Amino acid sequence: MTTERQAVGAYGERVAARHLRDQGLVVLDRNWRCPDGELDLVLRDGDDVVFCEVKTRRGEGFGPPAAAVTADKVRRLRRLGALWLAQTGVRPHAMRFDVVEVLPQRRGGPQVRHIRGAF
């Protein structure tokens, strides 16, 4: 991955984390990695754990950012969520998988769309 793409992704994750905190969620983990992959954000929403995939694009020329979450990606994120729970010992009431789309704007703040229970 290029440095520019990494910078755009890191920006989107910071924006998403701030947006979700402002909505009352608590960040438990960021950029959790294991040999099988990475979880962008792990949060607590009341008694539930939320695994959040952040997708940032500079435009919608290739469709909305969430369109990049393919069936293979969903399977991998579900597996990673189970691994995170096993490693941390956290036992949530329920868990869900969200997507946050971040679209930087030429003027003003970025456009942020939180898709709860995306998959």
Question: For the chain, what are the domain ranges?
Answer: 3-115
| Contact criterion met (CB below 8 Å) for 51 and 42 | yes
The pLDDT of residue 88: 96
Question: Is 3-115 assigned to CATH 3.40.50.1450?
Answer: no
The pLDDT of residue 21: 98
| DSSP one-letter string for 37-105 | EEEEEEEEETTEEEEEEEEE-S-STTS-GGGG--HHHHHHHHHHHHHHHHHH----S-EEEEEEEEE--
Percent of the chain with pLDDT over 90: 77
pLDDT tens track for 72-107: 999 999 999 999 999 999 999 999 999 999 999 889
The average pLDDT across 43-55 equals: 97
Average pLDDT, the chain: 93
The pLDDT of residue 2: 75
